[in-house]
């Protein structure tokens, strides 16, 4: 009994091992990380081209545009969350592992956020500059994006788990996740535009923080359940 117990790593080690593996995979395939970032930058470029280069208008719509672009870029990267694991069979290994599945899912989502969410947060000030956003507002924007992308990664993992292995996965994933993700965008984008108008913006930040905490506690269980269902 003690023999076999010693062979199984602890819960925390399982989480870190899963995260480390995904980070290593991302390091070996930098395109997967960079593509959503380029997409993020391009969507931000599309808006001025579509609505016109008027400085005033861009200052007004900047927070919203950046948030929409971040939401879409995250969606783009979510499809790959379980796909390669599903294709090469390592997802089955996760499912039969002695570690609790929600913890391993949390590890995967952590790696996803570090490679897809966090880079968006760091790139966003550069794009915000082109929209003429004041530096103080940029801080608020980075904070809302940090909290928001955590929730988006977790919420998206549920959708990715539900659609893994389906032929029409990508379009379906967006259809499932976008309505659920709208509150995150509403809270984030409006907190930034309130900050831009020197208004009280803390309500949105607190709500986003609460959303992130709630998703960390609940979403891994839903994702684990969805993964088990998809791989029956």
Partner 1 sequence: MWKWFHQLASPPHFYRISAILSPWLAVPGLVLIAYATWQGLFVVPMDYQQGDAFRIIYVHVPAAYLSLMAYMIMASAGAIGLIWRIKLSHAVAAAAAPIGAAFTFLALATGSIWGRPMWGTWWEWGDPRMMSELILLFLYFGYMALRSAIDDTAKADKASAVLALVGIVNVVIVHFSVEWWSSLHQGQTVFKRGTMDADMRLPLLMMIIGFTLLFGSMLLRRIRTEVLYRERRTRWVREMVLSPEGAA
Residue 108: alpha-carbon gap to chain centroid: 11
Cβ closer to partner 1: 55 or 202?
Answer: 202
Q: In whole angstroms, how close is the CB of 222 to partner 1 at the nearest point? A: 6
DSSP class of 116: I
Check if the beta carbon of residue 155 is closer than 8 Å to that of residue 215. yes
Q: In whole angstroms, how close is the CB of 208 to partner 1 at the nearest point? A: 10
Check if the beta carbon of residue 207 is closer than 8 Å to that of residue 143. no
Q: In whole angstroms, how close is the CB of 228 to partner 1 at the nearest point? A: 9
Cβ closer to partner 1: 118 or 172?
Answer: 172
Q: In whole angstroms, how close is the CB of 211 to partner 1 at the nearest point? A: 7
Residues binding partner 1 (CB under 8 A): 155, 158, 162-163, 166-168, 172, 175-176, 178-180, 182-183, 186-187, 190, 194, 203-204, 207, 211, 218, 222, 225-226, 229-230, 232
Here the tokens at position 93 are 């290994």
Q: How far is CA 180 from CA 85, 101, 151, 159, in A?
A: 25, 23, 11, 10
DSSP class of 117: I
Cβ closer to partner 1: 127 or 205?
Answer: 205
Cβ closer to partner 1: 6 or 167?
Answer: 167
Sign of CA dihedral 109, 111, 115, 120: positive
């Amino acid at each position: 009994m003690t023999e076999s117990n010693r062979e199984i790593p602890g819960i925390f080690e399982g989480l870190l091992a899963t995260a480390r593996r995904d980070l290593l995979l991302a390091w070996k395939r930098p395109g997967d990380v960079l593509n959503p970032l380029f997409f993020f930058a391009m969507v931000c470029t599309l808006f001025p081209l579509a609505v016109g280069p008027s400085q005033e208008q861009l200052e007004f719509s900047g927070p919203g545009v950046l948030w929409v672009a971040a939401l879409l870029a995250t969606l783009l990267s979510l499809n790959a969350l379980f796909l390669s694991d599903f294709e090469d069979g390592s997802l089955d290994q996760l499912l039969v592992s002695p570690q609790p599945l929600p913890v391993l899912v949390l590890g995967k989502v952590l790696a996803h956020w570090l490679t897809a969410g966090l880079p968006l947060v760091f790139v966003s000030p550069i794009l915000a500059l082109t929209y003429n956003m004041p530096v103080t507002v940029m801080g608020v924007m980075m904070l809302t994006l940090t909290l928001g992308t955590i929730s988006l990664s977790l919420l998206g993992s549920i959708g990715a788990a539900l659609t893994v292995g389906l032929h029409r996965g990508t379009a379906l994933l967006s259809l499932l996740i976008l309505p659920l993700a709208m509150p995150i965008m509403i809270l984030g984008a409006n907190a930034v535009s309130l900050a831009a108008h020197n208004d009280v913006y803390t309500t949105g930040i607190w709500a986003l923080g609460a959303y992130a905490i709630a998703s960390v506690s609940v979403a891994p269980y839903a994702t684990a359940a969805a993964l088990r269902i998809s791989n029956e």
